Amino acid sequence: MSQVKVALVGCGGMGKSLISQLKTVDGAELVAGVDPFETAREAFAEEYGVPVFESLTALLAEGNLDAVVVAVPNSGHAPNTIEAAQAGKHVFCEKPMALTLADCQAMIDACADAGVKLQIGQVLRYLPDFRQAIELVEDGTLGVPLHGSICRYGPPKDKWADGHWRDDPSVVGHNLFEVSVHEIDFARCIFGKPVAVSGWDISFDPKSPLWANATTGVIEFESGAICLLTEGNFNAIGRSEVELSGTAGSIRFHWGNDFVFKPFSEEAEGLDAKSGEIAEGVENGVRRETREWIEAIQNDTPTTIPGEDGMANIEIALAILEASKTKTRVELPLKR
């Protein structure tokens, strides 16, 4: 298939960001948009000049398309992916893949049964600083990665906005799904297969069940490595930092700011750079994830961030919450 006709399901902020990159990819053609809200629909039709539909079902009944990008609120990822796959459409689904393992598995199965490609939007691993760290692991420069400390947190807030889906736990899940699933994915890229998890989820304001928590997870990996994750909305100063320690040296970076690699050996070459230097010549992460999905469709090759990756991230998020609730160390895989 040389030309891939793509529709966007969920014409909001992330959907439009995905489409604006996808439009630069050879062989990808935007053919429609879907959104239940008239204002979002009309704005999309005006900006992109394509027909718009109220629902995926209406689009599938009328549209001529090969593939969909699913960028609806989190609880809608599984039903839209499954409906599109059952209609024979390839799917790019935003993170978090879904809110339960059963839904993740159903998405994987629906795509496999229909013979369509499923790519999950775990874009953080493609952002320049994170990509640089992964490369230093993959080419052996860091040695064996044995310890990680990754954090992203800021001040608490009552809510996002009146009526916003991010304030509904049944739609968003938890900060671990909405935000930290990115850092969890990155940790797996660095350390490999996880085997157990411990976790703590502390509330700073019981009136804000979603956006005033300090969540800490410790992930143990098959290699013997451990990675500490500290995430949430609880700290007035805020911090966004990654520290990775390997047998040959250490990495520390502040996302979008600076990047340091310091080897233990004085003969080995280190790196001390601004993020702008790290980003030079690196493909936009959103462009890369959508381009790779289109190429997998065109060439009938496996996707680069398949459903299994999205599901492994959800499993760790669920395990951190279970460990916090039961005050136990939770072994992986979780019981299905």
Ligand X SMILES: NC(=O)c1ccc[n+]([C@@H]2O[C@H](COP(=O)([O-])OP(=O)(O)OC[C@H]3O[C@@H](n4cnc5c(N)ncnc54)[C@H](O)[C@@H]3O)[C@@H](O)[C@H]2O)c1
CB of residue 324 to ligand X, shortest distance in Å: 22
**Strands laid side by side in the 258-263 sheet:** 271-274, 258-263, 249-254, 239-246, 145-154, 226-233, 213-221, 194-203, 330-331
Tell me which stretch binds ligand X (CB under 6 A): 32-40, 194-202, 241-249, 311-319: 32-40
Interacting residue with ligand X among 22, 28, 35, 137 (CB under 6 A):
35
The only residue of 4, 6, 7, 9 in contact with ligand X, by rule CB under 6 A: 9
Q: What is the DSSP letter of 125?
A: G
Asked if residue 94 binds ligand X (CB under 6 A), the reply is yes
Q: Out of 6, 32, 71, 297, which residue is the one contacting ligand X (CB under 6 A)?
A: 71
Nearer to ligand X by C-beta: 13 or 302?
Answer: 13
Q: Is 266 exposed, middle or buried (0-12, 13-18, 19+ CB in 10 A)?
A: exposed
| Count, residues near ligand X per rule CB under 6 A | 22
Q: Which residue is nearest to ligand X (CB)?
A: 12
Q: What is the per-residue binding string for ligand X in 102-121, x denoting contact by CB under 6 A?
A: -------------------x
Q: Is residue 154 at the binding interface for ligand X, with CB under 6 A as the rule?
A: no
Q: Does 69 bind ligand X (CB under 6 A)?
A: no
Question: Which is nearer to ligand X, 90 or 323 (by Cβ)?
Answer: 90
Phi first, then psi: give them for residue 113, nearest 5 degrees: -60, -35
Determine if 40 is a binding residue for ligand X (CB under 6 A). yes
Count Cβ atoms below 10 Å from residue 308 Cβ, excluding itself: 14
CA distances from 289 to 109, 125, 257, 283 (A): 22, 10, 23, 10
What is the rounded CA–CA span in Å between residue 42 and residue 47?
Answer: 9
Outline where DSSP puts E strands in 162-306: 194-203, 213-221, 226-233, 239-246, 249-254, 258-263, 271-274
37 lies in the binding site for ligand X (CB under 6 A)? yes
Output the six-digit token pair for 261.
């690699």
Report the interface residues with ligand X, using CB under 6 A: 9-15, 34-37, 40, 71-74, 76, 94-95, 121, 123, 178
